[in-house]
Structure 1
Amino acid sequence: MGGRRIIVDAADYDRVAAEWIEARVEQSLQQAERCHLMLAGGGTPLSVYRLLAERDRLPWMRLTLFFGDERCVPPEHQASNYRAVKAALFPHGKPDELILYRMRGEDEPEQAARDYEGVLPAQLDILLLGIGEDGHTASLFPGSPALQEWQRRVVTVVGSKPPPRRLSVTPAVIRAARHLLMLAKGESKAEAVRRALQEGDVPSALADTGDWLMDRGAAQALPAEE
């Protein structure tokens, strides 16, 4: 069964995303002592993270954060997902009580992938994903052999965008998440959104069981819901 399609005006996008995350964290913490949250990289989530930082409503002492993908670069590199997310979510520095596991993009890639598999929980409580114009999600690009990987949970991949060498979670991680939110924003994502939700022929279709938060530009190629 598919998740909800949440279509909002661009002005409301970050607020709705932040409220979704806060609500799912609260729900998860009603059932367990800690909440395991995997963050998305890329451009769309950054403004959501900045708003979460401003709202300051998440109980960081009870969260464990993970990343869905990373470029094979050092953490201070301009292309690092960790660097961008940390600056947006923790502008005043990471809280001491927060547990965060970054993918070590500076290490030998295959070993870094194996090491990250070792810290992942059996199931994520919350998984955030973004969608590329080509329909990729995390660093699972169209045609990648990683799309057929259901035993490994983190693998090395070669992407179609620079820097090409990356680490990424696999379909096994995406499909297992308890709560999943796909973040799609802008007219340039409209065709990828349509293909994911209507044709199912791009990597982002792996998230079709989760909730999809779209602005009207990203949703414009979808048929109107009755």
Structure 2
Amino acid sequence: MTDPLIEVHDGPEPLATAVAGELLNRLADAQAAGHVPHISLTGGTIAVKIHQEVARLAPASGVDWGAVHVWFGDERFVARASSDRNAVQARQAFLDAVGIPDANVHEWPATEDAADTDAAAATYAAELAESWPGKFDVMMLGVGPDGHINSLFPGFPQLHATGPTAGVTGSPKPPPERVTLTYATTCASTAVWFLVSGDDKADAVRRALAEDGTVDETPARGAAGQLETTWFLDHASASLL
């Protein structure tokens, strides 16, 4: 695991532009080296801004979107067309615009596809086993005010799951039923990027980066990349550091 790097930007818009540009550079460089990149997306307001910037900057990037695979760190276990789904938001913001083939967009099962969250998690685990090379080039993570990442919440048993995925019920953040990658899969990433904006996240950022504390209290403490861990912050979210 790696020591964290911290980048602080003037606001959510500059943060989104910086992350989008860096992502496109990583994808282009990977492809130039003959590698097919696999990335994992997150949801949330700042993620949507980043995705929109990716769509805006993509035409000049040189990225071959037919040779990029997209996964999702977690998902709301709702109907496939629901606007609550991270995949729906990502498709609207940039996936459809840049033309990633459907076969390369690895969505979690929806309520139409699986009986419950555990079944959905098992199906995604099988897809990872079949189509994932065992490491993400970039894992993007939002952080909640409570310090959660993906759908790994403080005090929940999924923090200690040993498999690649887990179902979640009774989530403190609606909707209550979710599916998530575990730490084992999240940390199987060359780079882990935390994407955080807003003063309501400042205490979570402080706790995640503090010298003391536990994963059970602040799940963001448990995620790190194998070669890089970067916190992309704005001034508001970095205000307590």
Looking at structure 2, the residues matched to 146 and 138 of structure 1 have their Cα atoms a distance apart, in angstroms, of 11
Q: Is the 8 A contact 2:68 2:100 kept in 1?
A: no
- Report the count of equivalent residues: 221
Aligned to 1:216: 235
1:74-85 residue pairs with structure 2 within 5 A? 74-85=79-90
**Distance in 2, Cα, partners of 1:208 & 1:91:** 29
Q: 1:19 aligns with which of 4, 18, 21?
A: 21
Two-structure CA RMSD over aligned residues (Å): 1.8
How has the CA–CA distance of structure 1 residues 200 and 20 changed in structure 2, closer, same or farther, with 3 Å as cutoff? Answer: farther
Residue 148 of structure 2 corresponds to which residue in structure 1?
Answer: 136
Contact 2:51 2:90 in 1 (8 A): yes
Is the Cα–Cα contact under 8 Å of residues 196 and 208 in structure 1 kept in the other structure? no
Whether 1:165 aligns to 2:181 is no
Decide which of 118, 125, 136 is 1:117's aligned counterpart.
125
1:118 CA displacement: 1.7
Structure 2 segments unaligned to the other structure (5+ residues): none
Equivalence for 2:93: 88
* Alignment pair present for 1:99 and 2:107: no
- Offset at 1:132? 0.3
Residue type matched to 2:45 in 1? G
Q: Which amino acid aligns with 1:47?
A: K
Residue 55 of structure 2 corresponds to 53
Q: Which runs of 5+ in 1 are unaligned?
A: none
Match of 1:183 among 187, 195, 205: 195
Q: Compute the displacement of 1:93 (Å).
A: 7.6
| Preserved contact between residue 5 and residue 212 of structure 1 (Cα < 8 Å) | yes
2-side partners of 1:176 and 1:93: how far apart? Answer: 26
